[in-house]
Amino acid sequence: MTHSDHELMLRYQRGDENAFAILVNRWHSPLLRLVCRLNGFPPSEAEDALQEVFLRVARAASGYQNNWAFSTWLYTIALNAARDMLRRRTPPVAETEVEPATTEPTPPQRASREEVVSLVREALMALEPNHREPLVLKHFSELTFEQIGSVLQAPISTIKSRTAAALKQLRRELLLRGVSSEEFLS
Protein backbone atom coordinates (compact mmCIF):
# COMPACT_ATOMS: atom_id res chain seq x y z
CA MET A 1 0.00 0.00 0.00
CA THR A 2 1.42 3.36 -1.03
CA HIS A 3 0.99 6.23 1.33
CA SER A 4 0.62 9.77 0.06
CA ASP A 5 3.34 12.30 0.81
CA HIS A 6 0.90 14.23 2.92
CA GLU A 7 0.06 11.18 4.98
CA LEU A 8 3.73 10.33 5.47
CA MET A 9 4.46 13.85 6.56
CA LEU A 10 1.71 13.75 9.16
CA ARG A 11 3.06 10.43 10.40
CA TYR A 12 6.51 11.95 10.68
CA GLN A 13 5.05 14.85 12.63
CA ARG A 14 3.75 12.27 15.10
CA GLY A 15 7.28 10.90 15.46
CA ASP A 16 7.40 8.13 12.85
CA GLU A 17 10.93 8.36 11.47
CA ASN A 18 10.34 5.57 8.97
CA ALA A 19 7.75 7.77 7.28
CA PHE A 20 10.46 10.36 6.77
CA ALA A 21 12.83 7.74 5.36
CA ILE A 22 10.17 6.83 2.79
CA LEU A 23 9.82 10.49 1.84
CA VAL A 24 13.59 10.79 1.44
CA ASN A 25 13.65 7.76 -0.84
CA ARG A 26 10.76 9.06 -2.85
CA TRP A 27 11.99 12.60 -3.28
CA HIS A 28 15.75 12.45 -3.35
CA SER A 29 16.04 12.18 -7.15
CA PRO A 30 13.72 15.10 -8.03
CA LEU A 31 15.33 17.31 -5.40
CA LEU A 32 18.81 16.29 -6.45
CA ARG A 33 18.00 17.31 -10.00
CA LEU A 34 16.57 20.62 -8.84
CA VAL A 35 19.51 21.57 -6.65
CA CYS A 36 22.13 20.52 -9.18
CA ARG A 37 20.45 22.32 -12.03
CA LEU A 38 19.78 25.45 -10.05
CA ASN A 39 23.27 25.67 -8.64
CA GLY A 40 25.28 23.97 -11.36
CA PHE A 41 26.67 21.49 -8.86
CA PRO A 42 28.74 18.65 -10.24
CA PRO A 43 27.49 15.23 -9.13
CA SER A 44 30.35 14.97 -6.64
CA GLU A 45 28.77 17.73 -4.56
CA ALA A 46 25.25 16.46 -5.03
CA GLU A 47 25.12 14.26 -1.97
CA ASP A 48 26.00 17.01 0.48
CA ALA A 49 23.56 19.36 -1.18
CA LEU A 50 20.79 16.82 -0.97
CA GLN A 51 21.52 16.12 2.66
CA GLU A 52 21.24 19.80 3.48
CA VAL A 53 17.90 19.99 1.73
CA PHE A 54 16.50 17.04 3.67
CA LEU A 55 17.82 18.36 6.93
CA ARG A 56 15.93 21.54 6.32
CA VAL A 57 12.84 19.59 5.45
CA ALA A 58 13.17 17.62 8.69
CA ARG A 59 13.59 20.77 10.71
CA ALA A 60 10.67 22.48 9.03
CA ALA A 61 8.43 19.42 9.37
CA SER A 62 6.72 20.61 12.52
CA GLY A 63 5.51 23.68 10.64
CA TYR A 64 3.95 21.67 7.83
CA GLN A 65 0.23 22.22 7.74
CA ASN A 66 -2.64 20.05 6.66
CA ASN A 67 -3.91 22.38 3.99
CA TRP A 68 -0.62 22.73 2.13
CA ALA A 69 0.32 20.91 -1.04
CA PHE A 70 3.29 18.79 -0.03
CA SER A 71 5.26 19.16 -3.28
CA THR A 72 4.92 22.95 -3.25
CA TRP A 73 6.04 23.07 0.37
CA LEU A 74 8.96 20.75 -0.34
CA TYR A 75 10.12 22.63 -3.42
CA THR A 76 9.91 25.93 -1.56
CA ILE A 77 12.25 24.60 1.13
CA ALA A 78 14.57 23.05 -1.46
CA LEU A 79 14.67 26.27 -3.43
CA ASN A 80 15.56 28.32 -0.37
CA ALA A 81 18.23 25.80 0.56
CA ALA A 82 19.64 25.91 -2.97
CA ARG A 83 19.75 29.70 -2.89
CA ASP A 84 21.63 29.67 0.42
CA MET A 85 24.05 27.03 -0.83
CA LEU A 86 24.76 29.03 -3.94
CA ARG A 87 25.38 32.17 -1.90
CA ARG A 88 27.86 30.32 0.31
CA ARG A 89 29.54 28.61 -2.60
CA THR A 90 30.22 31.53 -4.90
CA PRO A 91 31.46 34.77 -3.46
CA PRO A 92 30.00 37.62 -5.47
CA VAL A 93 32.37 38.48 -8.30
CA ALA A 94 32.21 41.04 -11.02
CA GLU A 95 30.45 39.68 -14.05
CA THR A 96 32.76 38.80 -16.86
CA GLU A 97 31.81 39.35 -20.42
CA VAL A 98 31.89 36.25 -22.56
CA GLU A 99 33.68 36.93 -25.78
CA PRO A 100 31.49 35.94 -28.70
CA ALA A 101 32.82 32.98 -30.63
CA THR A 102 34.38 34.32 -33.80
CA THR A 103 34.22 31.17 -35.85
CA GLU A 104 31.54 28.60 -36.33
CA PRO A 105 32.49 25.33 -34.70
CA THR A 106 33.68 22.95 -37.36
CA PRO A 107 33.27 19.20 -36.96
CA PRO A 108 36.80 18.62 -35.66
CA GLN A 109 36.28 21.38 -33.12
CA ARG A 110 32.87 20.17 -32.20
CA ALA A 111 32.55 19.81 -28.52
CA SER A 112 32.06 16.40 -27.08
CA ARG A 113 28.74 15.59 -25.45
CA GLU A 114 30.32 16.05 -22.06
CA GLU A 115 31.70 19.44 -23.01
CA VAL A 116 28.34 20.54 -24.34
CA VAL A 117 26.68 19.55 -21.10
CA SER A 118 29.27 21.58 -19.27
CA LEU A 119 28.66 24.59 -21.54
CA VAL A 120 24.89 24.36 -21.15
CA ARG A 121 25.34 24.17 -17.39
CA GLU A 122 27.55 27.25 -17.59
CA ALA A 123 24.98 29.08 -19.72
CA LEU A 124 22.23 28.13 -17.33
CA MET A 125 24.23 29.57 -14.46
CA ALA A 126 24.74 32.78 -16.44
CA LEU A 127 21.00 33.45 -16.34
CA GLU A 128 19.50 35.78 -13.80
CA PRO A 129 18.28 33.75 -10.81
CA ASN A 130 14.72 34.99 -11.26
CA HIS A 131 14.81 33.61 -14.81
CA ARG A 132 16.76 30.45 -14.04
CA GLU A 133 14.51 29.36 -11.18
CA PRO A 134 11.20 29.14 -13.10
CA LEU A 135 12.95 27.52 -16.04
CA VAL A 136 14.57 24.84 -13.88
CA LEU A 137 11.36 24.22 -11.98
CA LYS A 138 9.49 23.87 -15.26
CA HIS A 139 11.97 21.94 -17.35
CA PHE A 140 13.71 19.70 -14.83
CA SER A 141 11.22 19.46 -11.99
CA GLU A 142 8.26 19.41 -14.37
CA LEU A 143 6.07 21.54 -12.15
CA THR A 144 3.04 23.26 -13.63
CA PHE A 145 3.18 27.02 -14.06
CA GLU A 146 0.65 27.27 -11.28
CA GLN A 147 2.84 25.26 -8.90
CA ILE A 148 5.87 27.33 -9.85
CA GLY A 149 3.83 30.42 -9.12
CA SER A 150 3.12 29.07 -5.63
CA VAL A 151 6.76 28.16 -4.98
CA LEU A 152 8.12 31.47 -6.23
CA GLN A 153 5.13 33.45 -5.00
CA ALA A 154 4.52 35.17 -8.31
CA PRO A 155 1.57 35.34 -10.72
CA ILE A 156 1.38 32.68 -13.45
CA SER A 157 1.72 35.30 -16.19
CA THR A 158 4.99 36.49 -14.64
CA ILE A 159 6.27 32.92 -14.37
CA LYS A 160 5.44 32.27 -18.01
CA SER A 161 7.12 35.40 -19.28
CA ARG A 162 10.21 34.73 -17.15
CA THR A 163 10.43 31.16 -18.42
CA ALA A 164 10.21 32.33 -22.02
CA ALA A 165 12.82 35.04 -21.38
CA ALA A 166 15.08 32.47 -19.74
CA LEU A 167 14.88 30.18 -22.76
CA LYS A 168 15.76 32.99 -25.13
CA GLN A 169 18.61 34.16 -22.95
CA LEU A 170 19.90 30.61 -22.64
CA ARG A 171 20.11 30.26 -26.36
CA ARG A 172 21.99 33.55 -26.64
CA GLU A 173 24.41 32.52 -23.88
CA LEU A 174 25.14 29.30 -25.73
CA LEU A 175 25.68 31.05 -29.02
CA LEU A 176 28.14 33.35 -27.25
CA ARG A 177 29.99 30.22 -26.15
CA GLY A 178 30.06 28.90 -29.68
CA VAL A 179 27.38 26.27 -29.20
CA SER A 180 24.95 26.08 -32.06
CA SER A 181 21.85 24.15 -31.25
CA GLU A 182 21.51 22.76 -34.76
CA GLU A 183 25.08 21.54 -34.47
CA PHE A 184 24.79 19.20 -31.59
CA LEU A 185 21.12 18.46 -31.60
CA SER A 186 21.21 17.05 -35.09
In the complex, the residues that contact another protein under the rule CB under 8 A are 15, 17, 20-21, 24-25, 28-29, 32-33, 36-37, 41, 43, 46-48, 50-51, 54-55, 58-59, 62, 113, 116-117, 120-121, 124, 135, 138-140, 144-145, 157, 160-161, 163-164, 167-168, 170-171, 174, 179, 181-182, 184-185
Least Cβ distance, residue 75 to another protein (angstroms): 17
Q: Are 171 and 119 in contact (CB under 8 A)?
A: no
- Pick between residue 68 and residue 184 the one whose CB is nearest to another protein: 184
SS3 content of the chain, % helix, strand, coil (to 5): 75, 0, 25
Using DSSP's 3-state secondary structure scheme, residue 97 falls into coil
Reported as half-sphere exposure (CB side, CA atoms, 13 A), residue 45 has a value of: 12
- Pick between residue 93 and residue 113 the one whose CB is nearest to another protein: 113
Q: Is 58 exposed, middle or buried (0-12, 13-18, 19+ CB in 10 A)?
A: middle
- Pick between residue 82 and residue 124 the one whose CB is nearest to another protein: 124
